[in-house]
Chain A
Amino acid sequence: MQIIFKIVNFFVKIQIIVFFVCSFISCEKPVDIDLKDEGGTVSVLSFIQPDSAFKISCSKSVSILSSNNYQFVNNCKLIIYKNNRLYINLRFPDDTIMAMWNDLRFQTNDTLVLQIVENNITVATAITIIPDVIPFFNIDTTTVFRTDDLGNKTENIELAFDINNPDYGSEFFQLVIENVVTEINGEDTIFSSEIVDYSKSDLIFYKSGQGVSSLGEIDFKGLFSTNDILSNVYRIKISLPKKSLAVSENVNTTFLIVKLYHLSDDCFFYIRSRIIANYYDGVPIFDPIKIHSNVVGGLGVFCGSSCFTDTLNISN
Chain B
Amino acid sequence: MFLIKQFFNKYSFLLFVFFIINGNIFSQSALDRVVQLDFTTGSTNKLLKHIEDKSGVIFSYTNKVCTYKKVVLSKSKASVKEYLDQIFVNCFVQYYELNNKIVILPIDIRDLDYNIKGFVKDSITGEVLIGANIYDINASIGSVTNDYGFYSFTTSGGEVFVGCSYIGYNSIRKAIKLTRDTIISFNLAPLPALKEIPIVGQNSYSGIRSSQTSIVDVPVNQLQNVPSFFGEMDLIKMIQLFPGVKTGTEGFSGLYVRGGGHDQNLILLDEVPVYNMEHLFGFFSVFNPDAINSVKLIKGGFPAKYGGRLSSVLDIIMLEGNKDKLNKMVSLGLLSSKLSIDGPLKNDKTTYSLSFRRTFYDLIVEPLQEKNSDNNRYYFFDLNAKVNHRFSNKSRLFISAYWGHDNLNSDYNFKSISKTIINQDYLGDDLRLSDKINAGWGNIIVSTRWNYVYNTKLFSNTTLSFTNFNFFTSQDRDYYVDDTWNTITQSYNSGIKDLMAKIDFDYFPKNSHHIKFGVNYIYHQFFPGIEIVQSDNISGEKNDTTIGGEMIDGAEIHGYIQDDFVLSSLLKVNAGVHFSSYRTGLNNYFSAEPRLSVRFLVTQRFALKSSLSFMSQYVHLLRTANISLPSDLWLPVTDKIKPMSARQVSFEGNYEFLPGFNLSAELYYKKSYNELDYFESQSFFDLSTSWSDKLTSGNTESYGLEMLVQRNIGSWSGWLGYTYSKSISVFPGLNDGNPFWANNDRRHDISMFLSHSFSQNIDANMTWSFSSGKPITLADEKYFAPELPTVPSIGSGFSENFSEKNRYRMPNYHRLDVGVNFKKNKYWGKRVWSIGVMNLYGRQNPFFLYFSDNFNENTGESNRTLNQFSLFPFPFPYIRYTIQF
Interchain nearest-CB distance for B303 vs A (Å): 36
Q: Decide if A38 touches B481 in the complex (CB within 8 Å).
A: no
- A69-B782, A210-B687 known; A15+B799 contact, CB < 8 A: no
- A28-B870, A149-B490, A271-B788 known; A211+B781 contact, CB < 8 A: no
**Which residues from B are CB-within-8-Å of A305?**
790
Q: Decide if B549 touches A153 in the complex (CB within 8 Å).
A: no
Q: Decide if B488 touches A150 in the complex (CB within 8 Å).
A: yes
Q: Decide if A28 touches B867 in the complex (CB within 8 Å).
A: yes
| Chain A 43-87 interface residues, beta-carbon cutoff 8 Å to B | 43, 45, 47, 49, 57, 59-67, 69-70
Contact partner, B864, options A26, A65, A269, A289, Cβ 8 Å = A65
A261 interface residue, CB < 8 Å from B? Answer: yes
Comparing B12-20, B54-62, B156-164, B871-879, the segment that makes contact with chain A is: B871-879
B862 interface residue, CB < 8 Å from A? Answer: yes
Contact partner, A174, options B624, B790, B862, B866, Cβ 8 Å = B790
**Which residues from A are CB-within-8-Å of B686?**
218, 220, 272, 276
Interchain nearest-CB distance for B866 vs A (Å): 6
**Which residues from B are CB-within-8-Å of A273?**
681
- A41-B783, A287-B626 known; A271+B872 contact, CB < 8 A: no
Q: In the bound complex, what is the Cα–Cα distance between A223 and B785 (angstroms)?
A: 19
Q: Decide if A36 touches B531 in the complex (CB within 8 Å).
A: no
**Which residues from A are CB-within-8-Å of B544?**
none
**Which residues from B are CB-within-8-Å of A230?**
none
Of chain B, the residue at the smallest CB distance from A37 is: B780
A304 interface residue, CB < 8 Å from B? Answer: no
**Which residues from A are CB-within-8-Å of B802?**
288, 290
**Which residues from B are CB-within-8-Å of A289?**
680-681, 683
Q: In the bound complex, what is the Cα–Cα distance between A39 and B783 (angstroms)?
A: 8
**Which residues from A are CB-within-8-Å of B791?**
221, 271, 274-275
The interface on chain B, measured as residues whose beta carbon lies within 8 A of the other chain's beta carbons, has a size of 109
CB-defined interface of B605-626 with A at 8 Å, one 1/0 digit per residue? 0000000000000000000111
Q: In the bound complex, what is the Cα–Cα distance between A275 and B688 (angstroms)?
A: 12
- A26-B871, A288-B800 known; A214+B491 contact, CB < 8 A: yes
Interchain nearest-CB distance for A279 vs B (Å): 7
A243 interface residue, CB < 8 Å from B? Answer: no
Comparing B130-138, B696-704, B710-718, B843-851, the segment that makes contact with chain A is: B843-851
Comparing A4-12, A101-109, A112-120, A128-136, the segment that makes contact with chain B is: A4-12
B492 interface residue, CB < 8 Å from A? Answer: yes
Comparing A182-190, A201-209, A245-253, the segment that makes contact with chain B is: A201-209
Q: Decide if A27 touches B681 in the complex (CB within 8 Å).
A: no
**Which residues from A are CB-within-8-Å of B533?**
149
A176 interface residue, CB < 8 Å from B? Answer: yes
**Which residues from B are CB-within-8-Å of A272?**
681, 686, 688
- A151-B535, A276-B683 known; A207+B690 contact, CB < 8 A: yes
- A31-B846, A147-B543, A272-B681 known; A70+B626 contact, CB < 8 A: no
Contact partner, A152, options B481, B684, B795, B869, Cβ 8 Å = B481
Q: Decide if B876 touches A29 in the complex (CB within 8 Å).
A: no
- A31-B866, A97-B784 known; A215+B685 contact, CB < 8 A: yes
Q: Decide if B781 touches A38 in the complex (CB within 8 Å).
A: yes
CB-defined interface of B528-565 with A at 8 Å, one 1/0 digit per residue? 11110101010001010001111000000000000000
Q: Decide if B790 touches A36 in the complex (CB within 8 Å).
A: no
B37 interface residue, CB < 8 Å from A? Answer: no
Interchain nearest-CB distance for A69 vs B (Å): 4
Q: Decide if A286 touches B626 in the complex (CB within 8 Å).
A: yes
CB-defined interface of A7-30 with B at 8 Å, one 1/0 digit per residue? 110011011101100000111111
Q: In the bound complex, what is the Cα–Cα distance between A281 and B800 (angstroms)?
A: 10
| Chain A 150-169 interface residues, beta-carbon cutoff 8 Å to B | 150-153
**Which residues from A are CB-within-8-Å of B788?**
47, 271, 274
Q: Decide if B803 touches A151 in the complex (CB within 8 Å).
A: no
Q: Decide if A27 touches B798 in the complex (CB within 8 Å).
A: no
Q: In the bound complex, what is the Cα–Cα distance between A70 and B488 (angstroms)?
A: 48
- A205-B688, A214-B490 known; A26+B364 contact, CB < 8 A: no
CB-defined interface of B790-817 with A at 8 Å, one 1/0 digit per residue? 1110111111111100011101000000
- A43-B784, A150-B488, A285-B848 known; A216+B685 contact, CB < 8 A: yes
Q: In the bound complex, what is the Cα–Cα distance between A216 and B628 (angstroms)?
A: 17
Of chain B, the residue at the smallest CB distance from A228 is: B690
Comparing B350-358, B472-480, B752-760, the segment that makes contact with chain A is: B472-480
**Which residues from B are CB-within-8-Å of A259?**
790
Q: In the bound complex, what is the Cα–Cα distance between A30 and B851 (angstroms)?
A: 9
Of chain B, the residue at the smallest CB distance from A206 is: B687
Q: Decide if A288 touches B487 in the complex (CB within 8 Å).
A: no
Q: In the bound complex, what is the Cα–Cα distance between A277 and B800 (angstroms)?
A: 9
B777 interface residue, CB < 8 Å from A? Answer: yes
Q: In the bound complex, what is the Cα–Cα distance between A207 and B794 (angstroms)?
A: 24
The interface on chain A, measured as residues whose beta carbon lies within 8 A of the other chain's beta carbons, has a size of 94
Q: In the bound complex, what is the Cα–Cα distance between A49 and B871 (angstroms)?
A: 51
B631 interface residue, CB < 8 Å from A? Answer: yes
B786 interface residue, CB < 8 Å from A? Answer: yes
- A67-B862, A223-B688, A279-B683 known; A12+B364 contact, CB < 8 A: yes
Which interface residue of B781, B782, B811, B844 has the most chain A CB atoms within 10 A? B781
Q: Decide if A27 touches B870 in the complex (CB within 8 Å).
A: yes
B392 interface residue, CB < 8 Å from A? Answer: no
Interchain nearest-CB distance for A301 vs B (Å): 10
**Which residues from A are CB-within-8-Å of B783?**
41, 43, 59-62, 69-70, 299-300
Q: Decide if B801 touches A61 in the complex (CB within 8 Å).
A: yes
Q: Decide if A281 touches B796 in the complex (CB within 8 Å).
A: yes
Of chain A, the residue at the smallest CB distance from B690 is: A207
Contact partner, B492, options A207, A214, A218, A279, Cβ 8 Å = A214
Q: Decide if B871 touches A288 in the complex (CB within 8 Å).
A: no
Of chain B, the residue at the smallest CB distance from A205 is: B688
Interchain nearest-CB distance for A212 vs B (Å): 5
Q: Decide if B549 touches A29 in the complex (CB within 8 Å).
A: no
Q: In the bound complex, what is the Cα–Cα distance between A287 and B678 (angstroms)?
A: 10
Q: Decide if A147 touches B535 in the complex (CB within 8 Å).
A: yes
Q: Decide if A57 touches B685 in the complex (CB within 8 Å).
A: no
Q: Decide if B789 touches A18 in the complex (CB within 8 Å).
A: no
B347 interface residue, CB < 8 Å from A? Answer: no
CB-defined interface of B359-378 with A at 8 Å, one 1/0 digit per residue? 01100110010000000000
| Chain A 214-237 interface residues, beta-carbon cutoff 8 Å to B | 214-218, 220-221, 223-224
**Which residues from B are CB-within-8-Å of A277?**
795, 799-800
Chain A contact residues, CB within 8 Å of chain B: 7-8, 11-12, 14-16, 18-19, 25-31, 33, 35-36, 38-39, 41, 43, 45, 47, 49, 57, 59-67, 69-70, 97-98, 147, 149-153, 174, 176, 195, 205-218, 220-221, 223-224, 259, 261, 269, 271-282, 284-292, 299-300, 305
Q: Which 4 A-B pairs have the closest CB atoms?
A: A211-B548, A151-B486, A290-B680, A38-B781
A11-B334, A14-B334, A208-B548 known, 17 other contacts, Cβ within 8 Å: A11-B332, A25-B874, A26-B872, A38-B781, A38-B803, A65-B865, A67-B861, A67-B862, A69-B783, A149-B488, A149-B535, A209-B528, A210-B529, A271-B788, A275-B794, A281-B796, A289-B680
* Sample (23) of A-B pairs whose CB atoms are under 8 Å apart: A27-B869, A33-B849, A35-B780, A43-B783, A59-B783, A62-B781, A66-B864, A69-B782, A98-B786, A151-B479, A210-B691, A214-B490, A214-B491, A215-B685, A217-B685, A218-B683, A223-B688, A274-B799, A275-B794, A284-B850, A287-B626, A289-B680, A300-B785
